[in-house]
Amino acid sequence: MLKHRGFPGRLPGTDFQFIIRRASTKGITPLIARERFRDRRPPDRRADAGFMKALWDHFGDQPFERGNLDAGRLSWLFGREVVAVDDPFDPESYESLLVIDVDVARRSFPEAFEG
């Protein structure tokens, strides 16, 4: 499992995790496209925006390996702002390649692309 050095471990000042420390010995958590509803709590929305900003700052528009990125946090963006590069895509592989769909991400999280 690739460890993304320099990637923030969590949203500052919260317990919203962005990365995992070690590979799972019981099975890899698959990436799934989770539905984001309009009534999500503001802290959850801030965590999504913070994670999107961290992805953009770290990878930009280049493909990246899933590696040690938290599957739960990534699943909130997967299938919309973050899409699979591999075809066929293996949702249970730490080596799966992903990329930010910049147009969709800018519409969803404009604050992540400021500055």
- E strand residue ranges, the chain: 64-65, 82-84, 97-100
**Which pLDDT tens digit goes with each residue over 36-72?**
888 889 999 999 999 999 999 999 999 999 999 999 9
User: For residue 86, is pLDDT > 80?
Assistant: yes
pTM of the shown model? 0.91
Percent of the chain with pLDDT over 70: 98
What confidence tier does 115 reach under pLDDT thresholds 50, 70, 90?
low
Arithmetic mean of pLDDT over the chain:
92
Q: What are phi and psi of 45, to 5 degrees?
A: -65, -40
User: What pLDDT is attached to residue 39?
Assistant: 87
User: What pLDDT is attached to residue 27?
Assistant: 82
DSSP H helical segments within 1-115, as ranges? 42-59, 71-75, 102-108
Distances (CA, A) of 56 to 25, 27, 28, 107: 29, 28, 24, 14
Neighbours of 68 (CB within 10 A): 19
